Amino acid sequence: MRFAARALVAVGIVALGLGASEKLGGIQAHAAVSTAALPDVADLVDKLLPAVVEISVQSKNPNAGDGASPLDENPFKNFLDEFLKRKPGDAAKPAPKSTDKNPDKNGGDKPPTDPHDPNVVNSMGSGFIVDAKGLIVTNNHVIADAINIQVHMQDGTVMKAELVGHDPKTDIAVLRVKPDKDLPFVQFGDSDKARIGQWVIAIGNPFGLGGSVSLGIVSAKARDINSGPYDNYIQTDAAINKGNSGGPLFDLDGHVIGVNTAIFSPTGGSVGIGFSVPANEAKPVADQLVKFGETRRGWLGVKLQSLTPDVAEGLGLEKDKQKGALVADVTAGGPSDKNGLKAGDVIIGFNGRDVDSGRTLRRVVAEAEVGKEVDVKVIRNKSEQVVKITLGRLEDGEKQVASNDAQKPADQGSVAIAAPVLGMSLSDITDAWRAKFKIDAKLKGCVVTDVAADSVASDKAIAPGDVVQEAGGKKVASPNDVADAVAAAQKDGKTSILMLIAKGSNPQDTRFLALKLKP
């Protein structure tokens, strides 16, 4: 699911409900009580505002070649240009002076790129200062592809910013400015302690109206919006809109518990559902970007898939143990391959933390220290055991996976033997089948050459060109191995059999499927 307003952030109005059947006096009393219950955040906001900044960005216009105008992020640009230039009583005041110590070669404080250049896109966002010397946290999508970044302080000071580092996976970026004096700053809080229903404050730069404050609540936690591998968003109804991206979400102690990042909106406008990256995920990423200029995440070297009830049944797991992260494949030469994890293992614990899903495992592994030896608790063959694994680095692992994919060992070929099993026509993998289905040279097993309509295999979306690698927990070398595994499962009274299936053209696309057996 993608959001049309990915570069925006999130939205909402807190409304007080009144009883329609009450008399006027009762309504007034009820409203007064409700209003009194709202927190007064004026003093707190006075302290927080100076540390929240506006970020203006210039980037190359992808539509410049066809004569299109820049896609300015501010729909009120013409109005705001005049409004910001000529505030009442400000006519005689000079424009804010930049603190950039490296003005462009033309002299003065003019930015290096003309904001009216049709080859340039002008956009904006928000950010917050986390260090008195000038470190600023924002969203990666706010500064993506930037050729010029400027930071606007609440007192009117404008400073040129440089990019320290960015992380697309969590949408976090860190900027640095060089001020003449120490800057006001805010601190991250503990987002794990945030409770659904607690009050939160959003401050940012919606539609270029910098220093805007809104009050709302935490609507939900641990939201997965399919925007990245580590989705764990705080959902809020605090009013946030286009331009709030990268701004802070504060608790009433003045700590940053989230970085406002995205909205859900069918229309592109505010509908009261916004999402913030939790502080406990944003802070470690920001710290790594400052220290290394890049992220350094832990890596297990496994491919995971959802542990569905039918797959869990196929693994022989009891109903009270059908939670965890199912290992669908192990990367050759990776940490898990070296330390003994196997396809079919169900990971239920990592480094002392419970694991209830692949989503949880991805986050806790990414947060772990590279090079650290950790205990991984798995269920294998219906029994629990602990495997010790020394973590690799994800960024290196991604390169290793790409290198593995590029290596194509020679195909040895085999003799074709066709056999129908559970609606699948199976065959040995010959040179002809590899060519027809573009089957990767590394894949071993037997190939699905046809699938009968309305069959068990069809129900599981198995398709010609798929490769059966395991059946009933055993490696497959021929169609007869699959048939024997099905017969053995039926003899044992099982209602389904677990198979490991790979897409022939993509050896990394593997999954366990539980195929129902005929009674």
17: amino acid identity, one letter: G
Catalytic hit among 171, 231, 237, 466: 171
Q: Is 193 helix (H, G, I), strand (E, B) or coil?
A: helix
Residue with tokens 């898990």: 336
Nearest residue to 221 via CA among 180, 256, 192, 243: 192
Does the annotation mark 141 as catalytic? yes
480 φ, ψ to 5°? Answer: -65, -30
Distance from the first to the final alpha carbon of the chain: 39
Q: Are the C-beta atoms of 295 and 283 separated by less than 8 Å?
A: no
Residue with tokens 């033309």: 106
* Distance from C-alpha of 313 to C-alpha of 55, rounded to nearest angstrom: 53
Q: Is 361 helix (H, G, I), strand (E, B) or coil?
A: helix
For residue 94, how many other CB atoms are within 10 A of its CB? 6
DSSP code of residue 364: H
Catalytic hit among 56, 59, 141, 227: 141
For residue 488, how many other CB atoms are within 10 A of its CB? 14
Output b/e per residue, 17-33; b: 16+ Cβ within 10 A. eeeeeeeeeeeeeeeee
144: amino acid identity, one letter: A
* Distance from C-alpha of 384 to C-alpha of 160, rounded to nearest angstrom: 56
Catalytic hit among 59, 245, 427, 478: 245
For residue 193, how many other CB atoms are within 10 A of its CB? 12
Cα–Cα distance list, 164 to 173, 292, 306 (Å): 8, 9, 36
Active site residues: 141, 171, 245
